[in-house]
């Protein structure tokens, strides 16, 4: 029996007008490779930064780019504009409200210090626990990420249902012992509700 539903943030519950990683990769002409996202996330999402400038320096160094004022400025603008233009999908408040009546809810997100839930979205209070990668010091699909959120919830993996848009994270969650739904936020709330019903999870 499912006791908790754990959601990813980006492109599961919320979206940016343009993906920040894609903007940066395009501007800096970084090749699109199978390892890019892991390298990107490791560079900026594994620690809490005192400033976006420090985060920019880590990114530029990780991809062997010049730590110049122009490059730092572009990175900073991309991060800030991406976060400012982000918003949850229209269906999210209704679904979270319905689920919160009967289940514990958590957020487990690979994200930077400056790309988190905005209080103005009105959804933060639905979550019993929010675990960002820089708090857990772990990046999905690491088992450490899933252990962190299950421990915070006080719910064993087998009673947690994980929802994420990334298939690699879904597979890792299942290996960890969680139930999991591969879902992309733009598919809409009705699609998610059908997937949740497969695990006897209802709003």
Is the backbone peptide bond immediately before 133 cis, with ω within 30 degrees of 0? no
Structure tokens at 196: 């949740």
Residues of the chain with pLDDT under 50: none
pLDDT value at residue 43: 97
pLDDT value at residue 32: 87
Alpha carbons 177 and 169: distance in angstroms, whole number: 12
Domain boundaries, the chain: 4-15+88-197, 20-84
CATH superfamily of 4-15+88-197: HAD superfamily/HAD-like (3.40.50.1000)
Please say whether the beta carbons of 110 and 139 come within 8 A.
yes
Digit-coded pLDDT (tens) for 61-108? 999 999 999 999 999 999 999 999 999 999 999 999 999 999 999 999
pLDDT value at residue 161: 98
Q: Which pTM value belongs to this model? A: 0.95
Alpha carbons 177 and 2: distance in angstroms, whole number: 12
- β-sheet bridge partners, residue 131: 108
Structure tokens at 104: 């514990």
């Amino acid at each position: 029996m499912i006791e908790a539903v754990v959601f990813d943030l980006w492109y599961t519950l919320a979206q940016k007008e343009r993906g920040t990683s894609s903007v940066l990769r395009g501007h800096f002409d970084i090749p699109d490779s199978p390892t890019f996202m892991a390298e990107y996330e490791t560079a900026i999402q594994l620690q809490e930064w005192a400033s976006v400038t420090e985060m920019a320096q880590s990114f530029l160094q990780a991809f062997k780019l010049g730590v110049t004022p122009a490059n730092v400025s572009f990175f900073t603008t991309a991060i800030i504009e991406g976060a400012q233009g982000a918003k949850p999908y229209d269906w999210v408040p209704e679904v979270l409200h319905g689920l919160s009546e009967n289940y514990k809810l958590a957020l487990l997100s690979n994200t930077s210090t400056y790309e988190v839930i905005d209080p103005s979205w009105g959804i933060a209070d639905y979550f019993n626990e929010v675990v960002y990668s820089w708090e857990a010091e772990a990046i999905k699909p690491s088992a450490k990420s899933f252990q962190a959120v299950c421990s915070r919830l006080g719910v064993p993996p087998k009673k947690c249902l994980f929802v994420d848009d990334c298939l690699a994270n879904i597979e890792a969650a299942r290996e960890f012992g969680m139930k999991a739904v591969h879902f992309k936020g733009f598919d809409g709330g009705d699609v998610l509700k059908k997937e949740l019903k497969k695990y006897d999870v209802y709003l």
